[in-house]
Amino acid sequence: NHATTGFSQSHHYAPHAQPPSQQPWQPWESFHGHAYQPPPLGMQRADPNEVFPRTAMFSVPASGRKKALLIGINYRGTQAELRGCVNDAQNMKDLLMQQGFCNDPTSMVMLIDEGHDQSNYPTRKNILKGMQWLVQGACPGDILFLHFSGHGAQEPDKSGLEADGYNETILPVDYKTAGQISDDEIWGSVVWPLPSGVRLTALMDCCHSGTGLDLPFEFDLHRSQWVEDVNPAHSKGDVIQFSGCEDDQTSADAGGGGLFSQYQAGGAMTQSFIKAFKENPHATYPQFMAAVHRNLRKRGFSQRPVLTASQSFDFNSRVFSFTEGIESNHNHEIGRIKRKHIKKNKWGSGGGMSANVQAVQALLYEGMGTYAAAGGGKVGAMAVGKLGKKFLKNFK
């Protein structure tokens, strides 16, 4: 059900097509979002001027413009409360500023559930608005960054597109009343609109985040090759996602006491990611991913970060950078391909979800009177056994 993808080892660099005139970016306070409109289903031919062969690596000169959306949600005062997600957003902000990102309303927005500024509260409406703000005016050479630290979940996929039968989701602070944000919505908001030559790096530090942006290529570290999704969603931009764990795993919210008291409260993935970059700011992707995995293992975490991408680039030679190394578009056709209809899984039907994950899902939805993220049954009264409600405090 998966297709492996090879790539040329050529290191010839050629100039990218001349970019159009830059569109000015709007500051957050004057930006007006709009209701989410899903992209059209099916495939369409990409503009030939935005397609470049895989037989050579085409470099896109950076424009110097950098923009970031950082989201950290602790869900204070709820049974879903976490401890370190706002810290994660702040720490990522500090790192990005060290890499030349500007801390102004045109270049950086941080949505956190602290303070009294409702315009920067991480509600579903504000998060979707933030995603639209992030890609507004994006032109070839622009560098974008998206970071989410908070709860992730799953919900049944009714379209039959998802290989595991679920849509991966993130939970805004008002998820109980406004609902979750699915990977379909994230892909349609920040991936699909990007032109060729725009780089978006995403760090998703939450449970079930493996394919949280619905990117079509996942790198298999064991086989050292890209694997294409069964029903891939192709686009033109250069989008790379680092996820905190695989789709069927939980991500840890650690530190601030207990076993890892020497660490500030925060997401294990975000902390490991930042540490790996600081240890070697010029690492290749194999070196960088190995360092992230190593940092997690040293602290006793079993979660396995995943790398997915919109373009199947040369993993072994490409250097990870926040601000350089933009890959041109190789996809001649863009949109969603439905090669196989996937039957949706049912709660407890062997879909690969562990008892721990089910317990987390149950606690997230306790008392909501709604369908569980992981199946179809109500979970408000689901017994979680010995794990208890304290279990949730350590997982996203």
Q: Is 222 one of the catalytic residues?
A: no
**Are 81 and 75 a contacting pair, CB within 8 Å?**
yes
**Residue 174 exposed, middle or buried by CB count within 10 Å (0-12, 13-18, 19+):** middle
Residue 100, Cβ neighbours under 10 Å: how many?
11
Q: At what angle do helices 85-98 and 268-279 cross, to 10 degrees?
A: 20
Beta bridge partners of 68: 108, 145
Q: Is 34 one of the catalytic residues?
A: no
What is the pLDDT at residue 173? 96
CB-facing half-sphere around the CA of 9: CA atoms within 13 A: 2
- Please give the Cα distance from 389 to 79 (Å, whole number): 8
* Candidates 85, 206, 207, 245; catalytic one: 207
- Among residues 116, 124, 120, the alpha carbon closest in space to that of 108 is found at 120
What is the pLDDT at residue 299? 87
What is the pLDDT at residue 157? 72
pLDDT (tens digit, 0 to 9) for every residue of the chain, 396 residues total?
345 444 333 333 334 444 457 889 999 999 999 999 999 888 999 999 899 887 655 678 999 999 999 999 999 999 889 989 999 999 999 999 999 999 999 999 999 999 888 899 999 999 999 999 999 999 999 999 999 999 988 887 777 666 666 788 999 999 999 999 999 999 999 999 999 999 999 999 987 555 689 999 999 988 999 999 888 999 999 999 998 765 454 555 666 544 444 568 888 899 999 999 999 999 999 999 999 999 989 988 888 888 999 999 999 999 999 999 999 999 999 998 878 777 765 443 334 444 444 445 555 554 333 323 322 221 222 222 223 333 344 556
* Candidates 16, 147, 151, 330; catalytic one: 151
**Are 73 and 113 a contacting pair, CB within 8 Å?**
yes
- Please give the Cα distance from 125 to 168 (Å, whole number): 18
Q: Which two tokens stand for residue 311?
A: 């373009």
**Are 242 and 260 a contacting pair, CB within 8 Å?**
no
Beta pairing, strands 108-112 & 66-72: parallel
What is the pLDDT at residue 57? 57
254, amino acid identity: A
What is the pLDDT at residue 116? 83
**Are 320 and 285 a contacting pair, CB within 8 Å?**
yes
What is the pLDDT at residue 250? 52
What is the pLDDT at residue 392? 43
Q: What is the DSSP letter of 250?
A: -
The C-alpha torsion from 137 through 139 and 144 to 148, rounded to 10°, is: 50
Contacts of 276 (CB under 8 A, 6+ apart): 283, 288, 291, 292, 294, 295
